């Protein structure tokens, strides 16, 4: 298979974890005889520094000419006081909007080798297997008016029926491939947008009689996510609730550095990135956990390229390294062997080069 992939490392640990993901892409290409043409471009703070624009036209052009996008992370203290249009985060929001990447898929799966790394009790975290389906191109992040004056500030939470319908449909479709349950998370006891959201979920439910549907208020969902996470299969929610709940859910896996994500458009075109940010506190120290970026490559293989065996090989390689006790500093604990980002990637590549994945797939994300 020949594919072109836009590689946007971004800021902070973004380039470190993206380098790791690229090594995995190269290893899979060699092993399975694929050609991945990688085209690097800038986004976020790096792009502000170079082009005075967090998402320059050159980067959009590279992405336009690609089959998928791999992104690291954006942001950093250097740019924190910039005006809104020159903040690194604006580059991320703009790329999501520009490519209409409305469906953000964030799988959260307890990893047997990391059960003791989670602050949650083992009996709470074990066997958790959920997917957060986050609406990504609307809501508070994009609603107008959005402005600030000396004495006040305004953000607008707006959703159209159509925007809700398409993300809810996506969640129902994903649930069909899993345990068949959708939990829709909202704040319908207060917000008009949530009332509309709940109405749409009820309407769409008719087309999916095989799917069990429950509604949950976001405050209660935040609590249940860490007291009884196994109750969740597919969680569908609006942009900001999904942002917050996914970072919270990462504690189940032991670290934010474990969560990959896919942001996809209706035709399957997608951007793949870790859920975590640029982690300025550990940037440049060869300490970052590259698992989320590597597992995002597995999601790219599955969602954009239909390369299921290769995806399983990548996931299995990460799991094997963790089972051998190797991890980066964020997962340090008794019985763990803490290694650098580069050493960890080397271990993953060794596993990839060793292993033959059979039809028996031991570990699989969405």
Ligand X SMILES: NC(=O)c1ccc[n+]([C@@H]2O[C@H](COP(=O)([O-])OP(=O)(O)OC[C@H]3O[C@@H](n4cnc5c(N)ncnc54)[C@H](O)[C@@H]3O)[C@@H](O)[C@H]2O)c1
Ligand Y SMILES: CC(C)[C@H](C(=O)O)[C@@H](O)C(=O)O
Q: Which stretch binds ligand X (CB under 6 A): 59-67, 69-77, 144-152, 173-181?
A: 69-77
Q: Give the span between the Cα atoms of 241 and 167, in whole angstroms.
A: 14
Nearer to ligand Y, 229 or 277 (CB): 277
Identify the residue among 233, 315, 330, 351 touching ligand X (CB under 6 A): 330
- Which position's Cβ is nearest ligand Y? 89
Q: Is 83 annotated as a binding residue?
A: yes
Q: Give the span between the Cα atoms of 35 and 25, in whole angstroms.
A: 10
Q: Which of 90, 243, 272, 344 is catalytic?
A: 243
280 binds ligand X (CB under 6 A): yes
The question of whether 129 is a catalytic residue gets the answer: no
129 binds ligand Y (CB under 6 A): no
Question: Taking CB under 6 A as the rule, which mask of x and - marks residues 239-278 in contact with ligand X?
Answer: -----------------xx---------------x--xxx
Q: Give the span between the Cα atoms of 236 and 286, in whole angstroms.
A: 35
Identify the residue among 16, 67, 89, 163 touching ligand Y (CB under 6 A): 89
Q: Which stretch binds ligand Y (CB under 6 A): 85-93, 144-152, 333-341, 349-357?
A: 85-93
The strands making up 68-73's β-sheet, listed across from edge to edge, are 35-40, 2-10, 68-73, 270-274, 260-264, 103-109, 129-135, 234-237, 181-186, 212-217
Query: Considering the complex, what minimum distance in angstroms separates the CB of residue 41 from ligand Y?
Result: 18
Identify the residue among 73, 110, 188, 357 touching ligand X (CB under 6 A): 73
> How many residues sit in the footprint of ligand Y (CB under 6 A)?
7
Q: Which stretch binds Mg ion (CB under 5 A): 22-30, 52-60, 165-173, 241-249?
A: 241-249
243 binds ligand Y (CB under 6 A): yes
Q: Rg (Cα) of the chain, in Å, rounded?
A: 20
Q: Give the span between the Cα atoms of 355 and 364, in whole angstroms.
A: 16
**Interacting residues with Mg ion (CB under 5 A):** 243
Residues marked as catalytic: 141, 187, 219, 243, 247
């Amino acid at each position: 298979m020949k594919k072109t992939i836009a590689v946007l490392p971004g800021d902070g640990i973004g380039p470190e974890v993206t380098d790791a993901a690229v090594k995995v892409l190269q290893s899979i290409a060699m092993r399975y005889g694929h050609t991945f043409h990688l085209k690097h471009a800038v986004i976020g703070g790096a792009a502000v520094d170079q082009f005075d624009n967090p998402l320059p036209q050159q980067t959009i052009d590279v992405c336009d000419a690609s089959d998928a996008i791999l992104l690291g992370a954006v942001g950093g203290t250097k740019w924190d006081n910039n005006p809104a249009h020159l903040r690194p985060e604006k580059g991320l929001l703009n790329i999501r909007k520009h490519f209409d990447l409305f469906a953000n898929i964030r799988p959260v799966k307890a990893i047997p080798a990391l059960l003791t790394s989670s602050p949650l009790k083992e009996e709470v975290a074990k066997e958790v297997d959920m997917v957060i389906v986050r609406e990504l191109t609307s809501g508070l992040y994009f609603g107008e008016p959005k402005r600030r004056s000396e004495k006040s500030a305004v953000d607008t939470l707006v959703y159209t029926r159509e925007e809700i319908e398409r993300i809810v449909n996506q969640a129902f479709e994903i649930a069909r491939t899993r345990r068949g349950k959708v939990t829709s998370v909202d704040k319908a006891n207060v917000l008009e947008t949530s009332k509309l959201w709940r109405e749409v979920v009820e309407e769409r439910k008719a087309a999916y009689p095989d799917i069990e549907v429950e509604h949950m208020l976001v405050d209660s969902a935040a609590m249940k996510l860490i007291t009884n996470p196994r109750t969740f299969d597919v969680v569908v929610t609006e942009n900001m609730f999904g942002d917050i709940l996914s970072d919270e859910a990462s504690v189940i896996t032991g670290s934010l550095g474990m969560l990959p994500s896919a942001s996809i458009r209706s035709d399957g075109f997608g951007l793949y990135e870790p859920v975590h940010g640029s982690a300025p506190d550990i940037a440049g120290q060869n300490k970052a956990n590259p698992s989320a970026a590597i597992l995002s490559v597995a999601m790219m293989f599955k969602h954009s390229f239909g390369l299921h065996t290769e995806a399983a090989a990548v996931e299995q390689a990460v799991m094997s390294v963790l089972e051998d006790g190797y991890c980066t500093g964020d997962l340090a604990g008794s019985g763990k062997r803490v290694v650098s980002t580069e050493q960890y990637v080397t271990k993953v590549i060794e596993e990839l080069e060793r292993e033959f994945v059979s039809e028996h797939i031991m570990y699989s994300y969405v």
